[in-house]
Structure 1
Amino acid sequence: MKSSFAIWLDAARPKTLLLAIAAIATGSSLAYSAGHFSFAISFLALITATLLQILSNLANDYGDAVQGTDNENRIGPIRGLQQGVITQSGMKKAIIANIALIIISGLALVFYALQSPTSIMAFIGLGLLSILSSIAYTMGSKPYGYVGLGDISVFLFFGLLAVLGTYFLHTGTVNSSLLLPAIGSGFFSMGVLNINNMRDVENDAISNKRTVVVRIGTEKAKCYHLTLLSLGWLAFTGYLLANVTPIWLTLFMLLPLALVMKHGKTIWKIQNSKEFIPMMPEMVKCAFISNIVFAITLVLSSI
């Protein structure tokens, strides 16, 4: 039998936490290349983003359990609430505790990084919106994840906000040229959610969870997935081609390209939903390595 620590570690879904690390690394590397970098800001941003990812995972477990979506027909990993090793009351307490930690970490980050009252209030507002978004994905009477809006939320919070917000915390500015890496990070994060939804498509449909995959079908979702992978990699690489010298450093992006192509080829050939199960960590790996290689390339060009 698993220990209490192991049970809660599973609930936090540690493999997905790499997405938070990746997005913060991308935003921080952009700030470094602009001549503005603070280890303290990066560290606090990383803690806050990781806690938000954990909150999203815990709230997702709670919401899907209450909605009845996590049932015996679901083919993904069996969650703590689904097994009965975590109670609804215990999960609620964990969610509340996690929110408290996010508020502490987020306020420390904002007040350390920013001086302008307007900027401070704006980031506090964005932080509260991030918390609300994490909770409302599957919790409440009208969870937006059940009407197919999860992909947009992931793009906004794990792409645009995570990357551009991190850059702003370092520099106090932001510009439109940074949209490319923010889009790249967002598309790869959307790919992780898409794998999850392709795996669970049959049970989601029965449970009236109208994800993008349920709406368009698995075959079209595969095309959607390949589009996310391709545009994500191109967004990262396009930014490097326009901003990195010497230009040959951009060749480092061939490493994530090889992983992305291999992953995409495997996804295209899948015929059974159960075959998507091992693809989740592979997609996380693609997202993480693409962001990290981008970040390293950018930093190397700035030395």
Structure 2
Amino acid sequence: MTRTSFSRWLLAARLRTLPLACSSVLLGSGLAAHADAFRWPLFLLCLLTAILLQVLSNLANDYGDAVSGADLAGRVGPTRAVATGLITARQMQVAMGLTALAAMVSGLALLWSAFAEDWPALLAFIGFGALALVAAVTYTVGRRPYGYRGFGDLSVFLFFGLLGVMGSYYLYTHQLSWSLLLPAASCGLLATAVLNINNIRDRVSDAASGKFTLAVRLGASRARNYHWLLVGGAGVLIVLFILLHSASPWPWLFLPGYLPLLRAAWVVQVSEDPLLLNKQLKLTALGSLSCNLLLALGFTLS
């Protein structure tokens, strides 16, 4: 494969979205370390599986938007490989299949490492994994992709928040507590905030192409108010979890990662400039990663 063709695949994989895939794993693993249950092999396999699922989702999104016509000529977001002819639809289908296969192999290795002697848990997590694979593809691919009907936010909240954090934690500890819903939900809200900026930026072109995201359904003003609920709600849940579970100052390390999210939210509130919104999307993705990583580190140190 030439360097040029390799760069095309890097473009289609959209590596800038990978912080979202890593955040829930890092947070769940940090909380497991706090419970003295961390294991490096599980961590690496969990991280690899999450990244592969995210790449699969990105490839499917590139393919699905191109086939449906959602990638209009005037869009401001990242260049799409299939819509611009850099990669053919057939090549993308093959890449999606290979990535799905790699995610399945990695996921099965992860689950065997975690649950080799616990068949009910193993089978349950195989079901969760199959659901994640289907969700990654059907977001924009199929007869009725759910991302075009405003359900993308719910999917991101579940997979990048509740299931991502609590599932990662369970892989290490084989147990859960209701209080874990607080950091898991905060992680999901921040991931959803990233998607919301993307949907606010693309709101006009999405509506024109029949892609009725939640931002399209809410309208510009309410989508921006919704963004404050996502970012502010995440902060409240994190603070509540810290107050309930730690007297140490270390978990408050999350603040340097969280405060930039508020600044980005303010820019989203006042700006209609798609290029400026692009910058806030990147800052929010990196801020979400930093916030979750610092929170995980804080609980590990405490």
| Deviation string, structure 1 residues 238-269 (Cα, Å, up to 9, x no partner) | 212211232x3343232123212211121111
Match of 1:289 in 2: 290
Q: Is the 8 A contact 2:252 2:298 kept in 1?
A: no
Deviations 1:100-143 (A, max 9, x none): 00110000000110121110000001000000001110000000
Q: Tell me, which stretches of 5 or more residues in structure 1 are unaligned?
A: none
Residue 234 (structure 1) shift: 1.8
Aligned counterparts, 1:98-113, within 5 A:
98-113=99-114
Deviations for 1:189-222, whole angstroms, at most 9, x for unmatched residues? Answer: 1011101101110110011111001001111111
Letter in structure 2 aligned against 1:67:
S
3-state SS, counterpart of residue 223 of structure 2: helix
CA distance in 1, matches of 2:255, 2:292: 13
Aligned twin of 1:46: 47
2:220 maps to 218
Gap regions ≥5 residues in structure 2: none
Q: 1:203 aligns with which of 202, 205, 208?
A: 205
Partners of 1:121 and 1:252 in 2: CA distance: 37
Other-structure match for 1:182: 184
- Provide the C-alpha distance between the structure 1 equivalents of 2:244 and 2:189, rounded to a whole number of angstroms: 20
Residue 28 (structure 1) aligned with residue 29 (structure 2): yes
Q: Distance in 1 between matches of 2:128 and 2:207?
A: 32
Between stretches 278-287 and 131-140, larger displacement belongs to 278-287
Q: How does 1:77-156 map to 2 (within 5 A)?
A: 77-114=78-115, 115-156=117-158
**Could you tell me which of 144, 165, 168 is aligned with 1:166?**
168
Residues of 2 paired with 1:188 and 1:233: CA distance? Answer: 9
Q: Secondary structure at the match of 1:85?
A: coil
| Counterpart contact for 1:60–1:137, Cα < 8 Å | yes
Asked if 2 retains the 8 angstrom alpha-carbon contact of 1:59 and 1:135, the reply is yes
Q: 2:242 aligns with which of 232, 240, 261?
A: 240
How far apart are 1:177 and its partner, in Å?
Answer: 0.8
SS in structure 1 of the partner of residue 44 of structure 2: helix
Would the aligned equivalents of 1:241 and 1:250 in 2 still touch at CA under 8 Å? no
Structure 1 residue identity aligned to 2:130: L
Which residue of structure 1 aligns with residue 233 of structure 2? 231
Kindly indicate whether residue 31 of structure 2 is the aligned counterpart of residue 12 of structure 1.
Answer: no
Between Structure 1 and Structure 2, how many residues are aligned?
A: 300
Describe the SS at the equivalent of 1:59: helix
Letter in structure 2 aligned against 1:207:
S
CA-based RMSD of the aligned residues comes to 1.3
* Worse-matched range after superposition: 59-68 or 263-272: 263-272
Residue identity in the other structure for 2:123: M
Instruction: Measure, in 2, the Cα distance between the counterparts of 1:223 and 1:165.
Output: 30
- Name the amino acid aligned to 1:10: L
Structure 2 CA distance for aligned equivalents of residues 128 and 217 of structure 1: 34
Conserved? CA contact 1:158–1:185, under 8 Å: yes
CA distance in 1, matches of 2:76, 2:62: 15
User: SS at the partner of 1:11?
Assistant: helix
CA distance in 1, matches of 2:159, 2:258: 24
Instruction: Please state whether the residue corresponding to 2:83 is helix, strand or coil.
Output: helix
